[in-house]
Amino acid sequence: MLLPMSADQDLFVETTAKLLDELVPVGELRRLRYDPAGFDGDYWRRGAELGWTSLLVSPADGGGSIGDHGLVDLALVAYEFGRHAAPGPLAVTNVVAATLSETGHGGDGLVGGLLSGTSLATWCLGEPRPGDRLGTIALDIRVEGDEVVLDGAKRPVESAAVADHLLVTGRTGSGLTQVLVPTDTAGVTVAPMHSVDMTRRFSVVTFDGVRLPVSAVIGSIGSSDAQVERQLERALVVACAESVGAMRTAFDMTVEWAFDRYSFGRPLASYQELKHRFADMKTWLEAGHAVTGAATVAAADGSPDTTELLSAAKAFIGDYGSALLQDCIQIHGGIGLTFDHDVHLYLRRHTVDRALFGTPAEHRQRLADIESRVHAA
């Protein structure tokens, strides 16, 4: 990431990279292809001990950041996750932990479990068609006496099959409400989905008349729109940083291959057409670094430009990252199209991140909406 790092942050990133090299090398990623969870519990606990899940939680609740902003630290971790195509619900775990801490639930046992890696929680945001557009929330949360009742479905929900709790975003009237739902609650059904990523698991979660006490509400009933927007910002930072990390590894692999592979007595990298292509790819990669870094800092600082920068980053990286990774596959030639080569691992990671938390088209529409509001004002 093109972010200035302190000595402590540099050590944190280096330690994270070494842990990922040790615990989830490419061979382990291939083994985890058929693992129901997609990652090992001990691996996740060791990462949590290092600080992966505590960066957005206040020190009073057991968390703490490495630098001045925990979100910047989290982006650095996400970048390493992308570089290694590493498993684990990094974005959703941090979103839930931060939200619980900010809304006064940090003293609950669940937050302690999330910080230690012994418990898992995930965020239920997206929905099936026709409510699958970014910002469209149709799941109904209504109040009946001293209970809240949930009806609807969420998809895709990361790691729902192994989570202990679900942070569910739904609609109450014209506003948003969030409820923390134990996965073993009556009326909750979790059905697995297929994913192109080797280690990330997603599910459809259905809520059929799920009843919980009003105390399960996180925040205010019908007034959680601002909190949900903060959660989305954090998830987008992780998705963008992770995507750029995947782009970086695939690009480096391809450059090395182009110098090592000879055709007609000369390395592939010496051909002018490929030089031009690498120049384009390098430009896309550096621009991805730059826009992600700017968006991350804006989100960490609470800048009014945060929404615009994050949508610009998600749209740019989604489109140009796909082009870069497809070029990496093609430049590798026939071997790049095989499962035995490693380059597809990073294409898979980017492809999933591209679709989560809004597609490039949806974020371009978001940018257009911002622009229209500015002109209207």
For 260, how many CA atoms within 13 A lie in the half-sphere containing its CB? 7
What pLDDT does 267 receive?
Answer: 87
CA dist 35 and 198 (Å) reads 9
Tokens of 374: 């500015």
What pLDDT does 107 receive?
Answer: 67
Mean pLDDT of 81-88: 98
Tokens of 92: 């959703």
Strands (E), the chain: 121-124, 140-144, 147-158, 165-172, 175-182, 188-192, 202-213, 262-263, 266-267
Tens digits of per-residue pLDDT, 131-176?
A: 889 989 999 999 999 999 999 999 999 999 999 999 999 999 999 9
| Residue 346 dihedral angles phi and psi, to the nearest 5° | -85, -30
CA dist 376 and 46 (Å) reads 51
Is cis: bond before 156, omega within 30 of 0? yes
* Predicted TM-score of the model (pTM): 0.96
Give CATH superfamily name and number for 225-376: Butyryl-CoA Dehydrogenase, subunit A, domain 3 (1.20.140.10)
Q: Is the dihedral of CA 322, 325, 329, 331 positive or negative?
A: positive
DSSP string, 31-87: HGGG-SSSS-HHHHHHHHHHTTTTTTS-GGGT---SSS-HHHHHHHHHHHHHHHT--
Please say whether the beta carbons of 143 and 214 come within 8 A.
yes
Tens digits of per-residue pLDDT, 293-339?
A: 999 999 999 999 999 999 999 999 999 999 999 999 999 998 999 99
| Amino acid at the residue 271 | Y
* Selected residue with higher pLDDT from 118 and 1: 118
CA dist 65 and 268 (Å) reads 45
CA dist 168 and 141 (Å) reads 9
pLDDT at residue 372 tops 90: no
The CA-based angle 292-296-297, given to 5 degrees, is 120
How does 291-301 read in b/e, with b if 16+ C-beta sit within 10 Å? bbbbbbbbbbe
Q: What is the largest CA-CA distance in the chain?
A: 79
CA dist 246 and 42 (Å) reads 24
Please say whether the beta carbons of 46 and 102 come within 8 A.
no
Residue % of the chain over a pLDDT of 70: 99
- What's the distance, Cα to Cα, between the start and end of the chain in Å? 36
Domain assignments of the chain as residue spans, ordered by start? 7-89+97-119, 122-216, 225-376
Residue % of the chain over a pLDDT of 90: 90
CA dist 333 and 343 (Å) reads 11
pLDDT at residue 377 tops 80: no
Tokens of 227: 């909190």
Q: Which CATH class for the 122-216 domain?
A: mainly beta
Beta-bridge partners for 177:
170
CA dist 213 and 148 (Å) reads 6
DSSP 212: E
Q: Which CATH number fits domain 7-89+97-119: 1.10.540.10, 3.30.300.90, 3.40.640.10, 1.10.620.20?
A: 1.10.540.10
- Residue corresponding to tokens 């998600």: 314
CA dist 346 and 84 (Å) reads 8
Is cis: bond before 89, omega within 30 of 0? no
Please say whether the beta carbons of 165 and 118 come within 8 A.
no
What pLDDT does 1 receive?
Answer: 67
What 3-state class would DSSP assign to 174? coil
